[in-house]
Chain A
Amino acid sequence: MWGTVAALIPITVAAIYLFGLPALTIVLATVTTAVVTEIVIYKAASQPITISDGNAVLIGLLLALIMPPSVPIWVPIIGAAFAIAIPKYIFGGTGTLVFHPALIGFAFLLAAWPTLMGTGSTPNLGSFSDLLIETGAGRLVEASPALVLLGGAFVLYKRYVDRRVALSATILLLLLMPIVGMGSQLPYVLTGGYFLGLIFLAADPVTSPVTKKGRLIYGTMLVLLILIQLHFDTYFAGMCFAVLLMNVFSPFIDKNTIPKPIGGK
């Protein structure tokens, strides 16, 4: 998973450039907490420590990127520890997760300290330069949509995330929005947060389906859920909950789309 981490480095650097010291402390704090929590828990449970696979670092980094820069430093620290302990360790570790740990960590923080998790501004695509550096960014990841897409293109090319989920969801969302009369909300969707959610979070291989047909169904259902929440507001959190909700359906989709082998009846 180090490849995915590498893909997120450019946007992390851009966020630190835009927000300065707070962004840097959040990134360092979450990544360190995630790694330390994993070592402590796996050691206590006397299981092999798997820091070297990069999963804990990735969870920490993803969680850091969806934080607002104004958040007090102890909030993301609690979130990172929670993300490793509950959704990762309790659910059986890498490979058997049901929910994406970074999203669960985010949902937990949002429920516990909604005011602290609020953002100072909501990004929207006003001019072309907003694609490169979004000055209205409310979260670290929103600093630059172009750099998120760059990292996204890399992980899609390398197949670190699922192409069918990521591409079907992204393309369908952008196509459907004008059709269902939500064209005016497109500027709010063409931001780093949405691209991160669709490419890095929704298409995460562990929590998305495995069958070829199932992955397309997953992407389509995800877009429908996102459209429903876009009807009411344009908050980034809504998309996160849409992904979490889809994680629940993932095993069910798999079970019902097992392909027919050659020669099968």
Chain B
Amino acid sequence: MIIPLQQHDGAVCDSLVSVGDIVSVGQLIGDGEFRIHSSVSGEVTAVSELPHPTGKDVLSVVIKTHNGEKREIEPVELSAGKIRRIIRDAGIIEPNGHPTLRTKEDIDTIVVNGTNTWDLSSYEALMLDHPSEVIYGLKALMETVGATKAFIVIELGSEALHVMRTETIPDNNIKVIATQGYYPPGTENTLSKKFAKKKVPRGSTPEDRGVLVSSIAAMKAIYDALCDGEPMIKKVVTVAGAVGSPRDVLVDIGTPIGYMIKECGGCSGTPVKLIVNGAISGAAQYSDEVPVIKTTTGLLVQTESDIEREPQAPCINCAWCVDECPIGLMPHLLYGYADSAQFDKCAELHIGDCVECGRCAYVCPSKLPIVQIIKYGKHGVAVMEESE
């Protein structure tokens, strides 16, 4: 088991354990800006920098599991005031890397994202298997933050739609909304504007406007934390593509992705690409030793025949990316400026607003790696602003 000590958008946590320590399920092993718990019982064999799904090396705790030992997790006694602390202590993180509860603003609406993309179906699986737990988590969250309304957004044609509608019949303040399949599905500001009818100006979060955008996965995690006293140590992950039996699996956080592939029947054919978190905007991995972390939602295995490699050509100003951008940016200009290191121009064109959904790169007839270069540009802008 490899548990990285950075599982959200923020600083790496401090390790609370050292080599030789015996840890048990649910034990706190990392603290700091956020909390990270062990998902297994066993002995810590290393605390060192190891590959992370984002592509860099991050301080991680390696645990050799013991068989049979399982710490009894004691259910926590519920009290409304305590819930907020419990949610924080359980280390619940949204798939986009933000903590579910990040501010103490007054919230009146909660939007829960339950939409999937074609290769990620973990939300649907959760809703089908644990509908009442999801609703329980949502109600607890509503009570904690004082929200009066909640929307669950599910795409048209999903089986979960009916299940969730049935589940929410007794509640007047929870609405299940069916929406057209849309990519990218989980962008906070877009969801807030579309369903809570609150526009989010640049530089502020939906919470500033009284909207909390969350996800199905977080709802289930809240239920686990409140009813079983279990911190966020498990995750439903979709394993898709060239594997024996593609499916949604419940895995302990820290499980190497190679092990997950083996459990799903192994690779059919020689794997060439392992992509974490979606075919369009996910990141291909250097190694199958990379662990599942709190933000992992899916794994796509591709063989050589799945991949079309085409040479890159110059940008021809066709403007397909401009038409495609859900935010209204100029991807080809950002690409050009970032590629030639003109970061001041990137900042002028609001490179920071890019949500890295990858639609521009998907339609690009010149096959330019727009998203990667924009990420580089964002980094360049950050460095530039720091030095000023």
Q: Hey, what's the 0/1 contact readout for B322-360 against A, CB within 8 Å counting as 1?
A: 110011111011000000000000000110010000000
Number of A positions contacting B (CB below 8 A):
24
Which chain B residues numbered 303 to 334 have a C-beta less than 8 Å away from chain A? 313-320, 322-323, 326-330, 332-333
Would B330 and A262 count as touching, CB distance under 8 A?
A: no
- In the complex, chain A residues 178-211 whose Cβ is within 8 Å of any chain B Cβ: 205-206, 208-211
**Chain A 150-178 interface residues, beta-carbon cutoff 8 Å to B:** 159, 162
CB-CB under 8 A from B328, the residues of chain A are 259-262, 264
Q: Is the CB of A94 within 8 A of B318?
A: no
Interface residue SS majority, chain B: loop
Asked whether A265 is an interface residue with its Cβ less than 8 Å from the other chain, the reply is yes
Interface residues of A in 80-125 (CB under 8 A from B): 93-96
A95-B316 CB under 8 A given contacts A259-B328, A263-B202, A264-B202: yes
* B199 contacts partner chain A, Cβ-Cβ < 8 Å: yes
* A258–B330 alpha-carbon span in the complex (Å): 8
**Is A264 a contact of B353 with CB atoms below 8 Å?**
yes
Instruction: Indicate if the CB atoms of A262 and B316 lie closer than 8 Å.
Output: no
A262, B327: Cβ atoms under 8 Å? yes
A215 surroundings in chain B (CB, below 8 A): 319
Question: Contacts of B315 on A, CB cut-off 8 Å?
Answer: 95
- A-B Cβ contacts below 8 A, count: 69
Q: Are B327 and A210 in contact (CB under 8 A)?
A: no
Closest chain-A Cβ to B33's Cβ sits at a distance in Å of 26
Quick check: is A53 within 8 A (CB to CB) of the other chain? yes
Q: How far is the CB of A252 from chain B (nearest CB, A)?
A: 14
Check A159–B353 contact: CB distance below 8 A: no
- Shortest Cβ gap from B254 to chain A (Å): 36
A212 within 8 A of B: yes
Interface centre among A94, A95, A208, A215 (most CB of B within 10 A): A95
Given A210-B332, A261-B329, A262-B189, the answer on whether A93 and B314 have CB atoms closer than 8 Å is yes
Q: Is B39 an interface residue (CB 8 A)?
A: no
CB-based contact A212/B322 at 8 Å: yes
Residues of chain B within 8 A of A53, CB atoms compared: 313
Give the size range of B's interface with the partner. Answer: 20 to 34
* Contact flags B60-103 to A (C-beta < 8 A → 1, else 0): 00000000000000000000000000000000000000000000
Answer yes or no: B170 CB below 8 A from chain A CBs: no
- Residue B190 is within 8 A (CB to CB) of chain A in the complex: yes
Q: Are A262 and B319 in contact (CB under 8 A)?
A: no
Give the one of B193, B314, B319, B353 with max A CB within 10 A.
B319
Interface 1/0s, chain B 189-219, versus A by CB < 8 A?
1100100000111100000000000000000
Chain A 208-221, CB-CB to B under 8 Å as 1, else 0, gives 11111001000000
| Least distance between A116 CB and chain B CB atoms (Å) | 33
Q: Shortest CB–CB separation between residue A244 and chain B, in angstroms?
A: 17
B200 / chain A contacts, CB cutoff of 8 Å? 263
Chain B neighbourhood of A162, CB < 8 A: 318-319
Q: Which residue of the partner chain, among A205, A259, A261, contacts B317 with CB atoms under 8 Å?
A: A205
Query: Smallest CB-CB separation from B187: which chain A residue?
Result: A262
Q: Chain B residues in contact with chain A, CB under 8 A? A: 189-190, 193, 199-202, 313-320, 322-323, 326-330, 332-333, 349-350, 353, 366
Given A211-B322, A261-B327, 5 other A-B residues pairs in contact with their CB atoms under 8 A:
A93-B314, A95-B317, A210-B333, A261-B329, A262-B353
The 28 sampled A-B contact pairs (Cβ below 8 Å) are A50-B313, A53-B313, A94-B314, A94-B316, A95-B314, A95-B316, A95-B317, A159-B320, A162-B318, A205-B316, A208-B317, A210-B317, A210-B319, A210-B322, A211-B322, A215-B319, A258-B330, A258-B349, A261-B327, A261-B350, A262-B190, A262-B327, A263-B200, A263-B201, A264-B201, A264-B202, A264-B328, A265-B202
Binding site for B on A (CB under 8 A): 50, 53, 93-96, 159, 162, 205-206, 208-212, 215, 258-265
